[in-house]
Chains A and B, each alone.
Chain A
């Protein structure tokens, strides 16, 4: 039952794309590509939901041989466990809703059918990535989603900014992918495995469990994580994701918020068994740094989509941090909750942009004469904010667009970690608790630092998300003309918003809190440090949460068998502390945001002026783009110039020199021989023939009687000769 279901899940979107591609070859298009693609996704969604009921939780691999090379056989196959099925549902659900939303959002676009075909291809690739049981299959899906991302970011390729953004996204992620490929090669080279699958007897993970070579495992783990750094836009390869917002907003929601960028987190989670303490720590630090860096940048953005893009980067950093800190379940849990509320935020922003869009088109018509001029302007200032995405043009939209407002508010409450009734709170709390728990369990200073970073990022997240809500939906309209044009979106766009809003409440949490359902895979190379103990300062926690000093003291003097109990206890305590702290920072963030942007008790501009250097750092995105421009691009261009000079002077010089020698010496002498000797013989022969012909032709008089006379003479001669004989 499983194989046909998975086949349907994979083939339905692929079929939708194939129909488009084949008809495209015939220069035709299917009349309702949108409905076809949407139907394919709904079918896939239905099958995924059925899988949830049917097979899981027991892992269920299915492989077939793909290529045989000598004694190595590459296999392709599916691996289904609870996480895979949940990912399948997240991808198909978000994809279906985005398809439906796009029917409204993309309406009237000249390449409307193509958009849906690309979405179908993307969905297929992503689903393939999710169900693959081996690294090569994952890599194929990985590159395919990268390709679809490229195609969809550059969907409006007439805009220079979009064309540049898609190239940037493709090349930047490629940097990470090269690392990932090298990591895979190291695994294949260093490990002694029998089947190509990650799982099962003789698979890569069982080989990992038996190897002692921690150094190579760490290197391979970090290199494979490089792929995730690129795809999930972690520092330092995060710069492509904000630029990717040049694509249509449904694409941002599907690919650059909910699914593709989460593939990096998913990959890291799949690679959980190969992580070693050092590679885990690298992952955790990169995740933590990404979380805080992106969050601080988001504070000062004015483009509504850019704010959400940095928010996505920050949340992805969170997930990486969780997996790096060993909180497998927390990371994936946050992945799913984030997919829903971030897709909702993007679709909501799309709804807002759509509301302004008529206005924008009108604006374009007015300036049709200046189109050429505008174009060059955009090219010069690539980061200029389109007027329909600029939050400084918004305000007071809550009365105009009530459904968009309420659904976006729910998502914002969820991402900010407002306690208990929103899903984001639970997943974020699980991450914070997991990191703090690891810190307490191992008494690791690194994890305390990371916990602090994550906590700060949580507060900042609440602050900038409410800044977005206050600037967009509250207050008075800042641009009355645009405000008058704004309108609530049609039902095809609001229904997906409502469904996603419902999913921002903790409706699927029970899956993640059920320890029998989602089990983290074992990490054979990570053990608690020898001298790990529950540190004394957690006693405060123990007292705070109702444990007596005596109980805490009992915990301290444990034997080895009690070690795990103690670790478990530390995690529970950590979760309680983390929950309280996260509620406090979220409240602080929301409060500050309210004071700054709603009550206007403080002026954001004044604060920005006071802390000018810090503000500049945030405004210029930590100068990452400038750094890449200044160092990498300049270096590459300089290197290219050097090589060009080498080519032009030395290589061309040699080639030209050889050419000159050949021309002057060989060609000249051979030419002389040809002209004089060969041509001379031919010409002399011709002249002799010509002269002879000139004489002999006189015989031909053309007079028939002359010929007859000669014939007669000839006959007489013959007769005479015969007589003489």
Chain B
């Protein structure tokens, strides 16, 4: 398993996410697309952290730098929080418009 494998998986996830965000007609599906994008990013962080950053020697021990992996975990937490806010917004939009289809919510239309 090399870095390339991870990056390919990550690219596939990202592309699927973008596709879902741009094409879905349901706000929940768009949310799911966003989650895919976020997770592709997390995967990248973890992968780069593992394969790109060199090992360090501190006080005679060999140590792996795990900053990228920690950021990935932060990303997951962020995604959870973002999902909660997004769902609340969707609920509010549903109450206001009676629909969660983004193309029907177009009051900003010029």
Which residues of A are at the interface with B, using a C-beta cutoff of 8 A?
Answer: 696-705, 708-709, 712
Contact = CB atoms under 8 A, between A and B. Distances in A.
Contacts of B108: 700, 702
B106 A712 contact: no
Interface in B75-110: 102-103, 105-110
A704 B110 contact: no
Residue from B21, B108, B110 with most neighbouring chain A CB atoms (10 Å):
B110
Contacts of A709: 22
B28 interface: no
A712 B23 CA distance: 13
Interface in B1-44: 18, 21-23, 30
Contacts of A703: 102-103, 106, 109
A138 B107 CA distance: 89
27 contacts: A696-B110, A697-B110, A698-B110, A699-B110, A700-B109, A701-B106, A701-B109, A701-B110, A702-B105, A702-B106, A702-B108, A702-B109, A702-B110, A703-B102, A703-B106, A704-B102, A704-B105, A705-B21, A705-B22, A705-B23, A705-B30, A705-B102, A705-B103, A708-B21, A708-B22, A709-B22, A712-B22
Contacts of A705: 21-23, 30, 102-103
A229 to B, nearest CB: 94
Nearest to B103: A703
A689 to B, nearest CB: 15
Nearest to B106: A702
Residue from A696, A705, A712 with most neighbouring chain B CB atoms (10 Å):
A705
The size bracket of the interface on B is: 10 to 19
Nearest to A694: B110
A319 to B, nearest CB: 102
Contacts of B21: 705, 708
Contacts of A701: 106, 109-110
Contacts of B105: 702, 704
Nearest to A697: B110
A696 B110 CA distance: 9
Contacts of B30: 705
Contacts of B107: 702
Contact of A712 (B18, B103, B109, B110): B18
Contacts of A700: 108-110
Contacts of A699: 110
Nearest to A707: B108
Given A702-B106, A704-B102, 16 more contacts: A697-B110, A700-B108, A700-B109, A701-B106, A701-B109, A702-B105, A702-B109, A703-B102, A703-B103, A704-B105, A705-B22, A705-B30, A705-B102, A708-B21, A708-B22, A712-B18
Contacts of A696: 110
Closest 9 pairs between A and B when the two form their complex, measured CB to CB: A702-B106, A700-B110, A702-B109, A697-B110, A702-B108, A704-B102, A703-B103, A703-B106, A705-B22
Contacts of B110: 696-702
A699 B110 CA distance: 7
A702 B107 CA distance: 6
A120 to B, nearest CB: 81
Contacts of A712: 18, 22
A315 to B, nearest CB: 102
B54 to A, nearest CB: 26
A704 B21 CA distance: 10
A703 B21 CA distance: 12
B103 to A, nearest CB: 5
A701 B109 CA distance: 5
A308 B73 CA distance: 119
A700 B108 CA distance: 7
A698 B102 CA distance: 18
A703 to B, nearest CB: 5
A709 B102 CA distance: 14
A166 B18 CA distance: 102
Contacts of A704: 102, 105
A700 B109 CA distance: 5
A701 B102 CA distance: 12
A538 B90 CA distance: 136
Contacts of B18: 712
A705 B33 CA distance: 12
Nearest to A700: B110
A37 B21 CA distance: 99
A623 B101 CA distance: 108
A696 B107 CA distance: 17
Nearest to A698: B110
Nearest to A709: B22
Contacts of B106: 701-703
A701 B107 CA distance: 9
Residue from A696, A703, A712 with most neighbouring chain B CB atoms (10 Å):
A703
A699 B109 CA distance: 8
A704 B107 CA distance: 11
A708 B33 CA distance: 12
A204 to B, nearest CB: 95
A69 B22 CA distance: 96
Interface in B28-72: 30
A712 B30 CA distance: 15
